Amino acid sequence: MKILVTGAAGFIGSHTAERLKSLGYDVLGVDNFSTHYDVKLKRLNEKTLLEKGISIFNIDLNDINLENEFPDDIEYIFHFAAQPGISSNSTFNDYFKNNILATKHLLDYAEKLSNLKLFINIGTSSIYGLEATFKEDREPKPASYYGVTKLAAEQLVLQKSREQIFKSCSLRLYSVIGPRERPEKMFTKLIDLGLQNKPFPLFEGSDKHLRSFTYIDDIVDGIVSVVGKEPVLDGEIINIGTDKEYTTQQGIEAVESVLGKTIQLDIIPKRPGDQLRTKANIDKAKKLLNYNPKTTLLEAVQKQVEWYKANF
């Protein structure tokens, strides 16, 4: 079975590609190695995947006719590639191009695949809006360009199911943490600055924000479990995360506990569009995917610190 993973050199995409390969599938990856964050980290992820026998196409989904570059016998597509997160350095055009147009180009390619069994869109809890504690049928109220464009991408994918062109589903992920996390994300930055005895920039009031911090292996468990379940997943939206919630302050304290030191905080102005609360409602994932995340926050942080010290 041949599987294509977009955004394969990124955080979650690289872990998913690696897991799929370990399950015996023929995995191909694609990534544009964007400079949105340090390309050296993506190259490190790429090196790991190449060592596992996973080929990586260095391609931007917006640049070319994908059917001329990718195989025509792909059976599953896991679509991670996107302009991620909420960043003042990213414009609306960045989000539009990389989340909406790139998805449309990939879907055009997918329509030409005669053996495609399932197109899996990787969505986000940001689609729900400032609070994300709901079941999947809740009306979306995204409060950022990221959430708005990810919702649009999700709908483009699910449109294919509604028109019975090919089977598709969307997985909305919640606050993923662990080894290979992007450098601008909370835990990687906390670990980095903590080890350097430098202050961590904390958005005003965000210490009280609530998050479903979910360890990467638990997230990947849910993602790869879709294989073979396309008859029941067609057209579905499924939350993937943990139903445990922690404050940002508890996350900081977990890193301090593992590092054995106090991290100085530098309070900076609030960030527009930042979610106030996320708590994954995973009843549907438990029912359809037999999903059961188990890793505690402290265990996740310990593994991320070990990875960071080994690589940086």
- State which amino acid sits at residue 252: I
Q: Same domain, yes or no, for 195 and 129?
A: no
Q: What is the pLDDT of residues 202-215, one digit of tens each?
A: 999 999 999 999 99
**Same domain for 13 and 55:** yes
Range scoring the smallest mean pLDDT among 88-92, 155-159, 241-245: 88-92
pLDDT of residue 310: 96
Residue 36 has pLDDT above 90, yes or no: no
User: Does residue 203 share a domain with residue 222?
Assistant: no
The answer on 130 and 49 residing in a single domain is: yes
The total of other beta-carbon atoms located within 10 Å of residue 259's CB is 16
pLDDT at 87 over 80: no
Residue 111 or residue 36, greater confidence: 111
**Conformation bin of residue 62: beta by default, left when phi > 0, alpha when psi is -120 to 50:** alpha
Tokens of 76: 């599953």
Give the C-alpha separation, 246 to 160, whole Å. 36
> Is 64 a residue whose pLDDT tops 90?
no
Q: Is residue 91 part of a domain?
A: yes
Active site residues: 146
Mapped onto helix, strand or coil, the DSSP state of residue 84 is: coil
Mean local confidence (pLDDT), 160-179: 98
Residues 43 and 163 in one domain: yes
**Which band of pLDDT confidence, cut at 50, 70 and 90, is reported for residue 189?**
very high
CATH number of the domain where residue 131 is located: 3.40.50.720
Rounded CA separation 72/210 (Å) = 44
Range of the domain at 69: 2-174+214-241+284-289
Q: Can you give the CATH number for the domain in which 197 is found?
A: 3.90.25.10
How large is the average pLDDT for residues 125-148? 96
Q: How confident is the model at residue 232 (pLDDT cuts 50, 70, 90)?
A: very high
Say how many domains are in the chain: 2
142 pLDDT higher than 90: yes
Dist CA 248 CA 209 (whole Å): 6
Shared-domain flag, residues 96 and 143: yes
Same domain, 223 and 254: no
Mean pLDDT of the chain: 96
pLDDT reading at 37 higher than 90: no
- With cut-offs at 50, 70 and 90, classify the pLDDT of residue 86: confident
Q: Give the pLDDT of residue 89.
A: 78
Predicted confidence at residue 85, as pLDDT, reads 80
Q: How confident is the model at residue 195 (pLDDT cuts 50, 70, 90)?
A: very high
Give the number of C-alpha atoms closer than 13 A to the C-alpha of residue 231, restricted to the C-beta side: 1
- pLDDT at residue 88 greater than cutoff 80: no
For the chain, what percent of residues have pLDDT higher than 90? 93
pTM: 0.96
DSSP state of 82: S
Residue 180 in domain: no
127: confidence class by pLDDT, cuts 50, 70, 90? very high
Tens digits of residue pLDDT in 260-297? 999 999 999 988 888 989 999 999 999 999 999 999 99
**Residue 74 in this model has a pLDDT that exceeds 90:** yes
SS (H, E, C) 162-199: HCCCCCEEEEEECCEECCCCCCCCHHHHHHHHHHCCCC
| Domain match, 143 and 71 both | yes
- Report the share of the chain in percent with pLDDT over 70: 100
**Contact call for residues 258 and 110 (beta carbons, < 8 A):** no
Residues 170, 303, single domain; the answer is no
